[in-house]
Amino acid sequence: MNIPKSVSMYCPNCKKHTDHKMRLFKTGQARAMSKGTRRMQRKHKSGYGGKTKFPAYVKKQNKRPTFVAECETCKKKISFVINKRMKKAELV
Ligand SMILES: [Zn+2]
């Protein structure tokens, strides 16, 4: 699916429609010392162990991409999800 590189949309900071630069959101690296990873490590180490999270039997083929729109006047970023599964999201 083709998505335009710049879109005119409402900016809550400027309180009017301005041009926004679009880009795809990428997840960062998971922190090793975060509460969630520490909890998972504790779960795996205690008792007889075993998996606490199982992989899905049927994986979804496509993903709903998250986009980040940056206002070109105030440089504020808004992230949003396009609620449609797509194989490929291209910025044109
Ligand atoms: Zn703005």
Q: Where are the domains of the chain?
A: 1-27+62-92
Ligand 1 centroid to residue 20 C-alpha, Å? 8
Query: Span 44-49, mean pLDDT?
Result: 76
Rounded Cα distance between 1 and 24, Å, is 13
User: Considering the chain, what is the average pLDDT of its residues?
Assistant: 89
Ligand 1 centroid to residue 10 C-alpha, Å? 8
**Residues at Cβ < 5 Å from ligand 1 ion:** 11, 13-14, 71, 73-74
- Specify the fold of 1-27+62-92: Nuclear Transport Factor 2; Chain: A, (3.10.450)
Sorting pLDDT into bands at 50, 70 and 90, what band is 45? confident
pTM for this entry? 0.69
Sole residue written with tokens 């049927």: 58
